[in-house]
Chains A and B, each alone.
Chain A
Amino acid sequence: MARFIGRRLLLSLVTLWLLATIVFIIANVLPNDVGRTILGPFAPQESVDALNEKLGTNRPILVRYVDQIRGVFTFDYGDSFVNGRPVLPQLADAIGRSAKLAGLALIITIPVAIMAGLYAARRRDRPVDRAIVLLGVTSSSIPEFVTGTILVVVVGVQLKLLPVLATPPRNADILTQFRFLLLPALSMAIVYFGYIARMTRAGTIEVLQADYTRTAAMKGLTTAQTMRRHVLRNALIPTVAVIAVQIGYLFGGIIAVEKIFNYNGMGQTMLSAAQRKDIPMLTAGVIIIGVVYMVATLIADLTIAWMNPRIRLDAER
């Protein structure tokens, strides 16, 4: 198992390097004059040069590249173009707040989606199943900001059940925080419900048709026993992978949700960085979310290896 983890970690580092390179290319190679990009086409050349000098963007491209790659692996994501201070500490709080929101969305969606997927698979092709599949397709196709808008109008404005802004008052207790975060978390949870439910359903249907499920039924196990002992573990293996991938996407959708609900997290920070053309802030955001995605898939791979002895034992060889 140690070798498996080691190999997997090594591959993650390679991916991280490639990721940082892609981001570097977008941020430094595409606009070959960063100062001009920031100041716009009408600024005098002298101020562009001065800005490039100040930002260090007039150094040879290779030097900048090595600098950035080293930074990625040493947790130094450069200094903000706007205030000149390192970006990572400025991002830390925002990341924490976003993680809270994303975490709540996952906690809401995973159990519900898995239950729905299992239920649908057991009643395959019946009206309940068709309804869940349709709900899954619908919920996973509507963008978060659209769901958020609809939720705000219906639950917040018309029914006045929940606050329409996500930021709770200072020192609010956990229940109040939860109330404030519920609508934004719901609008994200709805999107992920579809993915997870559909994958669970597909995985369960496959396992229900497997010969070993028949073996279990022929032993005389009850349906509940068969599901618990033989179906669940095998059926959820693909779901684990999907959840991990979704965690990466979750942070992509969070930007729009934070904008709708005016929540001061990662997304808002990125949006204001975009307005001020604070490129290091944006690149740091991209890389950090990339790392979150990689860690999530790493954990998923390890979970899958733990769930499936075939992968685990092959890896040990």
Chain B
Amino acid sequence: MDLPATPSPLARVAPTTPGATSERTQARRETLKVLLRRPAFIIGCLVMIGWIITAILGQRITPYDPFNSFSGGHLPPGSGHLLGTDRLGRDVLSRVMVGSRDVLVVAPLAAIVGVVAGTLLGLVMGFYRGLIDDVLSRLVEAFLALPVILVALLTLVVLGSSPLVVVCVVGILFTPIVARTVRSAVLSERQLDYVTAAKLRGESGPFILTREIFPNVLGPTVVEMTVRFGYAIFTVATLSFLGVGIQPPSADWGLTVSEEYTNMISGVWWPTLFPALAIASTVVAVNLIADSLQSVLNE
């Protein structure tokens, strides 16, 4: 900040500056209050917090060791094993409880990569327009035409599967989508007269972009971040199901479904259904949060 926020000793005495900050925190508190009035938001948060806790505490709270075999094979849900055992005799409930560990690391990282890169790209495209925007827009258009899952498949075949590659591939494929959202936000922002006023007092492009415009497009960016997080879980789970995402011996939900789904036909549905429901609950929870955020910030 080139502007000292310190009040001049003369006129501004104590009440003003704290007044301003309290006003800001008050605004933030208002937003939170409105959010907390939405049952969808609360349910989403509770589910997410639940999965985060089980992922962190892991073996300390699971009824059995998730990686140990307790029987020769599938046991139906019932006494002893609440949700049954899988094909290797491992406790399904314990595995479902720790199954969020990998995806809850990989997916947020991928979302962050996509949102950070996309925001930077979108800011530049929206603000400078002209040739830069034209060229980048074509490129974005081409990236949007790429089928995410299939390109991820191709890349992971080429580079070999590792969590880092998954993060990068998913992140990069999300970049153009985020860029497009941020670009349109910047475009409508830069038409406003405060941008002209800034130019008239001689502000540089980067200053206007980062200090004047960026704070005002932060809202849509935060929403986009949450939405992308949901999609990242969606995509990573699908990749794991296809065998190119999280690798064994992880208890990852998508991976587990891919290992067990063929047994559904013979009536062994429990090792598949429970991790599937776990995925569903997580993605829905994130999207409920994103949807609430979006409607509250738009109000």
Contacts and interface: CB of A to CB of B under 8 A. Distances in A.
Contact flag (A, B; Cβ within 8 A): yes
Interface of A: 11, 14-16, 18-19, 21-23, 26-27, 30-31, 37, 133-134, 137-138, 140-147, 149-150, 152-153, 156-158, 164-165, 245, 248-249, 251-253, 255-256, 259-260, 270-271, 274, 277, 279, 282-283, 285-286, 289-291, 293-294
Interface in B128-183: 138-139, 141-151, 153-159
Nearest to A291: B145
B264 interface: yes
Nearest 8 pairs between A and B by C-beta? A18-B142, A141-B287, A252-B147, A290-B145, A252-B149, A141-B283, A149-B276, A153-B269
Interface residues of B, number: 49
Contacts of B244: 274
B277 A15 contact: no
Given A157-B264, A256-B241, A146 B276 contact: yes
Contact of B264 (A143, A149, A253): A149
Contacts of A285: 150
Given A153-B264, A293-B147, A137 B276 contact: no
Contacts of B1: none
14 contacts: A11-B138, A18-B141, A21-B142, A134-B40, A138-B287, A140-B287, A141-B286, A141-B287, A143-B237, A145-B237, A147-B280, A150-B277, A248-B145, A248-B147
Given A19-B145, A141-B287, A143-B279, A282 B150 contact: yes
Contacts, number: 166
Given A27-B158, A145-B257, A146-B237, A256 B149 contact: yes
B120 interface: no
A289 B158 contact: no
Contact of B261 (A37, A260, A270, A279): A260
Contacts of B286: 141
Contacts of B59: none
A259 B234 contact: no
B116 interface: no
Contacts of B291: 133, 137
A149 B272 contact: yes
Contacts of A134: 40, 288
B265 A157 contact: yes
Given A282-B150, A293-B145, A293-B147, 9 more contacts: A22-B143, A142-B280, A143-B254, A145-B254, A149-B264, A157-B267, A158-B269, A271-B153, A274-B153
A151 to B, nearest CB: 10
A145 B279 CA distance: 10
A146 B142 contact: no
Interface in B225-283: 230, 234, 237-238, 241-244, 254, 257-258, 261, 264-265, 267, 269, 272-273, 276-277, 279-280, 283
Contact of B138 (A14, A157, A165): A14
Nearest to B268: A157
Contacts of A248: 144-145, 147
Given A146-B279, A149-B276, A255-B242, A137 B284 contact: yes
A145 B241 contact: yes
Contact of B157 (A156, A260, A282): A282
Contact of A30 (B40, B138, B158, B264): B158
Nearest to A18: B142
- Which has the most chain A C-beta neighbours within 10 Å: B141, B149, B159? B149
Contacts of B261: 149, 152, 260
B58 to A, nearest CB: 23
Contact of A255 (B146, B150, B159): B150
Contact of B273 (A37, A150, A289): A150
Contact of A143 (B138, B158, B283): B283
Contacts of A147: 280
B146 A146 contact: no
- Which has the most chain A C-beta neighbours within 10 Å: B156, B157, B261, B276? B157
B46 to A, nearest CB: 16
Contacts of B147: 248-249, 251-252, 286, 289-290, 293
A156 B151 CA distance: 31
Nearest to A281: B154
B142 A22 contact: yes
Contacts of A19: 142, 145-146
A255 B149 contact: yes
A248 B149 CA distance: 11
A141 B234 contact: yes
B237 A270 contact: no
A251 B291 CA distance: 26
Contacts of B142: 15-16, 18-19, 21-22, 290
A129 to B, nearest CB: 12
Contact of A270 (B150, B156, B258, B272): B150
Nearest to A134: B40
B276 A252 contact: no
Contacts of A142: 234, 279-280, 283-284
